[in-house]
C-alpha cells in the first residue's frame, strides 16, 4: 500500500483509534454514549450497575496508585544506594558529575544533597527548585533537617508526603555502610498524578473527551511456583535426562486419543507431546525406571528411552535453569504476572532472539530508560511522519517494559523476553489518541521493517476497512498480530482485536479471574494478566497499570519467544499453539470471557519445541510455507 493511498484513506476515515478508546459510540443526535448502556439510561438497574462498576474501577485505580507509590519509593532507595556506592570517596567534581547525570536521567529527583560526615560539609544539587508558600517551604526544611539527623544516627530516613507549590514530594535519605557519607533525595511524586489521570481515562472514571479524541486503555498476578528440572546421573560421565519423562515409540497399534488420555491418568501425567513417530510422556511422581516398566509391561512398544538433555558448551549447568526469581529489584514483590503464566519455566526453553523483533505500535517509548537499555531498535513516528518515537504519555513505555525490560540486571522490573528487540512505532499523540491513518501506517511500517510480532494495545468499536486492510497486509507478511480487547466491560466487538487475523487478548486478575473491566465476546482468543502490572514508565520511573493494554503485551512477548524457538512456524501456527496450550478458565473449552484460556508460557514453548506439525497437517503446512516464500521472492523482484 503506497503512502499516497494511505493518506487518501486516512482523509476519508474520521474515526480515531487510541489505547483503550474502546467504549464510546455516537447516538443519532450526535451525543457521545457509553457502549453497552441503554440509550434511555433512566432505569434504576442501569444506574445501579453503572455505580457498581464505578466502585470496582475506583478500587483498581486506588490499587494501581498505591502500587506505583511503593515502586517509586523502592526505586528511589536503590538510586540513592547506587550513588553512595559509586561516589563515596570520590573528588567533589566527580560527585557533582554523578549527581547531575542521575538527575538528568531521573527527572523526578528534584534535589540531591551529598553529606561528608567526617568534615560536616554538605553539597546540594538541584535540578528543579521547588517554589511554594513560606509555610510549605518551612515544612520542607523541617523534614530536611530531620533527614540529616536521622541518617547520621540510624542510617536511613523517609519523610511523609508534603506539598510545595502545586507538587507533592517526599524526602529519602541513605548512609554509606562505613558511616562516612550520606545522601538525601527530594523525590517528585508527579508520577502518581500521571497514573491517576491515565487510569481515570483508561478505566472510564472521568467523562469521555469529545468524539474523535479517544484515550488510553491499560490492563495486568501472584506467587512464583518453582519447577525443578530433575536430571539422573549414573556417574559423572553419564548423559543427563529428565527423570520424570520417557520417550515411547509404539508398534503398529498406536493408541487413540481416548487411550492416550487413559495412559496420562494412570501415570499421573498430562497429555503427551508427539514428535515424529514418538511420544514424550511426563509423570508428576513416577521415575524413568517406573515409567519404562509401565510401558514395556502394558504396551510392548518398539522402544522406550530416556528424554535426554542436549546441552551446549556455554558452561550451562542445572544452576542456569530459572527455577528461582531473577534479581530485578521489583520482581519478587510486584511482578505476580510472570510467575502465574509460568515465565520462569518457559525461560528454560526460550528467552527470545534478537532476530525476532516485536513491534509496539503505541504512544512511543522512552528510549533512554535504564531498564530498556540496548533493547530498542530504531523506530518510527507516524504522528509527524519522521523523527524519534518519543513517548509523551507513558503507555507505550509501560507496554514495552512488559515485553522486553532487561532481566537480571538488578534494576526495576523483568520483561518476559530477554533478547527479542523492540521496534517502537508511535501512532498515538500526547493525548493518547491517533487516527486510523496513523495506526494503519504504523502497522504497515512495522511489517515492512522486519517485525515478526506486532502488539496493538489500542482499539475502537468502528470496523474500519482501511485498518483491516493494514492488518491483512501485515498478516499476509507472516506477522503475528496481537491486540487488547478493551476496558469497557462490554460484549461489543472492538477493533483491531475482533479481526480474524488478530489474536484478541482479555484481562485476568492475580487469582485467575476475569478482570471486571475486560471486554468479552466470541472474538476473544486468550486471556492474560492485566491487574496492577508493574512496568517501566516515562521519566525513568516505574508504574503499575491495569487494563487489557497490559494483558496484550504478555501475549505478544510469548509469540516472540515461540518464533525465536521455532522460526519455521507460520503466524497462524504460532497463534494456534498459544490458544491450544492456554490454561482453560471459565466454561470448558472456548468461552467469551477467557477465549481458550489464560496464557501458559511453558506449555506453549514445550509444544513449539516438541510437537512439530501433525502428519495430517503437513500438506497445508508445506503449502503455507511455499506461499510465504513466493510472497517474499515477489517482494524482492
List, for residues 386-416, the tens digit of each pLDDT value. 889 999 999 999 999 999 999 999 889 999 9
Distance CA 333, CA 452 (A): 32
Mean local confidence (pLDDT), 450-464 = 91
pLDDT at 133: 93
Distance CA 499, CA 443 (A): 14
Catalytic positions:
362, 395, 549
Greater model confidence, 361 or 433: 361
- Of 227, 482, 461, nearest in space to 359 by CA: 482
List, for residues 33-77, the tens digit of each pLDDT value. 333 333 344 556 656 777 777 777 788 888 888 889 999 999 999
DSSP string, 484-506: E--SS---S--BTTTSTTEEEEE
Mean local confidence (pLDDT), 90-99 = 92
Helices (H), 241-393: 257-266, 288-298, 331-334, 337-340, 343-346
DSSP 184: E
pLDDT at 515: 95
H or E element in which residue 381 lies: strand 380-381
Mean pLDDT of the chain: 81
Distance CA 297, CA 292 (A): 8
Q: What is the band of 438 on the pLDDT scale with cuts at 50, 70, 90?
A: confident
Mean local confidence (pLDDT), 601-605 = 97
Angular region, 317: left φ>0, alpha ψ -120 to 50, beta rest: beta
Grid coordinates 512398544 are at which residue? 301
Q: What is the band of 204 on the pLDDT scale with cuts at 50, 70, 90?
A: low
Alpha-carbon Rg for the chain in angstroms: 27
Cell of 548: 487489557
CB 130 within 8 A of CB 142: no
Distance CA 459, CA 21 (A): 6
CATH 3.40.50 fits 54-189, yes or no: no
pLDDT at 253: 75
Q: How many CB atoms lie within 10 A of CB 415?
A: 30
pLDDT at 632: 55
pLDDT at 170: 94
pLDDT at 238: 30
Cell of 11: 482523509
In the chain, where the domains are located: 54-189, 241-305, 330-635
Residue range 330-635, CATH number: 3.40.50.200
Cell of 105: 536521567
Distance CA 13, CA 5 (A): 12
Measured on CA atoms in the order 430, 433, 435, 437, is the torsion positive or negative? positive
pLDDT at 310: 26
Q: Name the phi and psi angles at 541, rounded to 5.
A: -115, -170
How would you write 594-612 as a 3-class SS string? CECCECCHHHHHHHHHHCC
Mean local confidence (pLDDT), 615-621 = 49
Task: Report percent pLDDT > 70 for the chain.
Answer: 78
Distance CA 238, CA 244 (A): 17
C-alpha to C-alpha distances, 162 to 103, 137, 142, 159, nearest whole angstrom: 20, 10, 11, 8
Q: Name the phi and psi angles at 81, rounded to 5.
A: -65, -40
pLDDT at 535: 97
Q: Which residues, listed in sequence order, are joined to residue 123 by a DSSP beta bridge?
A: 114
- Look at residue 42 and give its three-state secondary structure: coil
pLDDT at 352: 96
Grid coordinates 553539597 are at which residue? 123
Write down the pTM of the prediction. 0.70
Beta strand 380-381 with 422-426 is parallel
Greater model confidence, 483 or 42: 483
Helix pair 571-580, 548-565: axis angle to 10 deg: 120
pLDDT at 212: 34
- CA 473 from chain centre, in angstroms, equals 25
Residue range 241-305, CATH number: 3.30.70.1510
CB 80 within 8 A of CB 185: yes
Amino acid at each position: 500500500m503506497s503512502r499516497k493511498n494511505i493518506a487518501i484513506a486516512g482523509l476519508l476515515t474520521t474515526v480515531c483509534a487510541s489505547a483503550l478508546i474502546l467504549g464510546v459510540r455516537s447516538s443519532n443526535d450526535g451525543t457521545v454514549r457509553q457502549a453497552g448502556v441503554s440509550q434511555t439510561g433512566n432505569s434504576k438497574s442501569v444506574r445501579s450497575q453503572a455505580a457498581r462498576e464505578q466502585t470496582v474501577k475506583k478500587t483498581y485505580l486506588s490499587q494501581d496508585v498505591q502500587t506505583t507509590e511503593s515502586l517509586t519509593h523502592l526505586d528511589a532507595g536503590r538510586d540513592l544506594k547506587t550513588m553512595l556506592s559509586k561516589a563515596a570517596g570520590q573528588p567533589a567534581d566527580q560527585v557533582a558529575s554523578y549527581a547531575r547525570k542521575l538527575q538528568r536521567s531521573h527527572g523526578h529527583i528534584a534535589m540531591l544533597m551529598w553529606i561528608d560526615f567526617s568534615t560536616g560539609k554538605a553539597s546540594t544539587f538541584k535540578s528543579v527548585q521547588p517554589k511554594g508558600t513560606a509555610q510549605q517551604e518551612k515544612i520542607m526544611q523541617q523534614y530536611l533537617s530531620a533527614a540529616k539527623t536521622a541518617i547520621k544516627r540510624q542510617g536511613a530516613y523517609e519523610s511523609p508526603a508534603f506539598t510545595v507549590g502545586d507538587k507533592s514530594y517526599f524526602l529519602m535519605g541513605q548512609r554509606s555502610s562505613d558511616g562516612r557519607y550520606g545522601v538525601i533525595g527530594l523525590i517528585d511524586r508527579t508520577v502518581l498524578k500521571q497514573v491517576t489521570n491515565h487510569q481515570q481515562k483508561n478505566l472510564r472514571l472521568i467523562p469521555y473527551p469529545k468524539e474523535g479524541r479517544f484515550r488510553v486503555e491499560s490492563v495486568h498476578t501472584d506467587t512464583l511456583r518453582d519447577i525443578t528440572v530433575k536430571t539422573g546421573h549414573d556417574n559423572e560421565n553419564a548423559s543427563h535426562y529428565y527423570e520424570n519423562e520417557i520417550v515411547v515409540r509404539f508398534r503398529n497399534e498406536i493408541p487413540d486419543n481416548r487411550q492416550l488420555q487413559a495412559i496420562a491418568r494412570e501415570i499421573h501425567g498430562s497429555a503427551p507431546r508427539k514428535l515424529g513417530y514418538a511420544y514424550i510422556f511426563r509423570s508428576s511422581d513416577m521415575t524413568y525406571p517406573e515409567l519404562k516398566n509401565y510401558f514395556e509391561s502394558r504396551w510392548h512398544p518398539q522402544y522406550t528411552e530416556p528424554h535426554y538433555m542436549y546441552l551446549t558448551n556455554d558452561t550451562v549447568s542445572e544452576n542456569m535453569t530459572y527455577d528461582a526469581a531473577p534479581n530485578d529489584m521489583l520482581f519478587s514483590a510486584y511482578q505476580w504476572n510472570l510467575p502465574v503464566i509460568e515465565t520462569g519455566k518457559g525461560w528454560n526453553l526460550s528467552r527470545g532472539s534478537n532476530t525476532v523483533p516485536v513491534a509496539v505500535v503505541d504512544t512511543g517509548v522512552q528510549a533512554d530508560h535504564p531498564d530498556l537499555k540496548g533493547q530498542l531498535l530504531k523506530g518510527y513516528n507516524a504522528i509527524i511522519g519522521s523523527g524519534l518515537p518519543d513517548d509523551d504519555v507513558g503507555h507505550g513505555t509501560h507496554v514495552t517494559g512488559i515485553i522486553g525490560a532487561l532481566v537480571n540486571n538488578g534494576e526495576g522490573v523483568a520483561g518476559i523476553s530477554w533478547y527479542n528487540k523492540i521496534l517502537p512505532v508511535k501512532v498515538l499523540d500526547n493525548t493518547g489518541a491517533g487516527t486510523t491513518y496513523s495506526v494503519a501506517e504504523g502497522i504497515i511500517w512495522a511489517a515492512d521493517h522486519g517485525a515478526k510480532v506486532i502488539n496493538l494495545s489500542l482499539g475502537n468499536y468502528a470496523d474500519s476497512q482501511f485498518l483491516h486492510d493494514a492488518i491483512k497486509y501485515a498478516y499476509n507478511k507472516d506477522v503475528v498480530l496481537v491486540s487488547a480487547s478493551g476496558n469497557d466491560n462490554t460484549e461489543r466487538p472492538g477493533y483491531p482485536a475482533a479481526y480474524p487475523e488478530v489474536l484478541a487478548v482479555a484481562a485476568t486478575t492475580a487469582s485467575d479471574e476475569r478482570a471486571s473491566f475486560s471486554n468479552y465476546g466470541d472474538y476473544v482468543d486468550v486471556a492474560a494478566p492485566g491487574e496492577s502490572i508493574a512496568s517501566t514508565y516515562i521519566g525513568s520511573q516505574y508504574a503499575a497499570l491495569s487494563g487489557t493494554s497490559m494483558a496484550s503485551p504478555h501475549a505478544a512477548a510469548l509469540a516472540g519467544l515461540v518464533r525465536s524457538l521455532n522460526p519455521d512456524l507460520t503466524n497462524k501456527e504460532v497463534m494456534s499453539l498459544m490458544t491450544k496450550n492456554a490454561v482453560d478458565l471459565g466454561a470448558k473449552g472456548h468461552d467469551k470471557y477467557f477465549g481458550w484460556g489464560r496464557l501458559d508460557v511453558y506449555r506453549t514453548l514445550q509444544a513449539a519445541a516438541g510437537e512439530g506439525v501433525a502428519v495430517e497437517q503437513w500438506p497445508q503446512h508445506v503449502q503455507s510455507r511455499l506461499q510465504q516464500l513466493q510472497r517474499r521472492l515477489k517482494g524482492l523482484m
